[in-house]
Amino acid sequence: MPAADPHLEPRPIRVAAAGDVHCREGNREEIVAAFAALDDDTDLVLLAGDLTSHGTVAEAEILVEAAAATEAPVYTVLGNHDWHAGLGADIAEVLRRGGLTVLAGDSAVLECEGGVEVGIVGAKGFVGGFAPHQMPDFGEPSLRALYAEAGAEVEALAAGLAAVATCALRLVVLHYSPSPETLAGEPPEIFAFMGSDRLAAPILEHGPDLVVHGHAHAGSPEGRIGETPVYNVSVPVLGADFRRFELQPSVVGGPIP
């Protein structure tokens, strides 16, 4: 594509986002129809994990069928349901063969009209809780392993954001929540299993333009980390197939000159 004219404001980038679509045979037609109904001018789709109901390859193949109904590129992370049967790697491979981009603690760059670069960073995230009720790095090896796994997700998120620092638009897709604000409505007793505020640190540092997540079916739709808007795009929260965003890219790119 031709390079963007630095003197012209680029057009908005149109994003459709959803989480917890929970593909299964019973909702196959509904899922396919939802993707087929996406507007032709949708630039990209973000899926915030829990793509399947029971973590089977057959359920993942339903999503491949649905994604083929839209011309928009689809970027996704896996969620806890997708790992439940121990087939997360197989599911990711099926999705990639079907043309979806599966992000697992890494990033991708999409070049849109006018040469506008959109950086997409994806990670599952993990559990751990929110101040003042976080899980500490202390105790039995199994508990410390949970803390370490969350730490690895945080480090991957930070590295991904650094990799897309010069993109004109920077998006983050997670499964677990980085903010307690978008969990409001869930029982506070389970917040520790819904996400971790450790994920907020790289978001505060890099200031991406948008963060979306799923997992919290009874949570709240919107929150904020610093200047960055955070959206819970779980389908039960949306009450719709997708949440649509129109995002204005920066003429000068990200914060790194």
This prediction has a pTM of 0.94
Residue 255 has pLDDT above 60, yes or no: no
CATH code assigned to 13-247: 3.60.21.10
At 6 the pLDDT is 54
Least confident window among 207-211, 242-246, 250-254: 250-254
Residue identified by tokens 């709240």 is 220
* pLDDT band (50, 70, 90) for residue 2: very low
The residue among 172 and 256 whose pLDDT is bigger is 172
Q: Please, is 99 exposed, middle or buried when counting C-beta atoms within 10 Å of its C-beta (0-12, 13-18, 19+)?
A: exposed
Strands 13-18 and 44-48: what pairing?
A: parallel
Say how far apart CA 67 and CA 16 lie, in whole Å.
12
Q: If residue 119 lies in a helix (H) or strand (E), which one and from where to where?
A: strand 117-123
Chain-centroid distance, C-alpha 53: 18
* The pLDDT of residue 164 is above 70: yes
The answer to whether 210 and 232 are in contact (CB under 8 A) is no
Give residue limits of the domains in the chain.
Answer: 13-247
Structure tokens at 171: 């998006």
pLDDT one-digit tens code per residue, 168-220 = 999 999 999 999 999 999 999 999 999 999 999 999 999 999 999 999 999 99
Phi/psi of residue 15, nearest 5 degrees = -120, 135
Number of H helices, E strands in the chain: 7, 11
Residue among 164, 153, 177, 159 nearest 230 (CA): 177
Q: Which of 54, 76, 23 is nearest to 214 (CA)?
A: 76
Rounded CA separation 180/165 (Å): 26
Q: Is the peptide bond before 73 cis (omega within 30 degrees of 0)?
A: no
At 43, the amino acid letter reads D
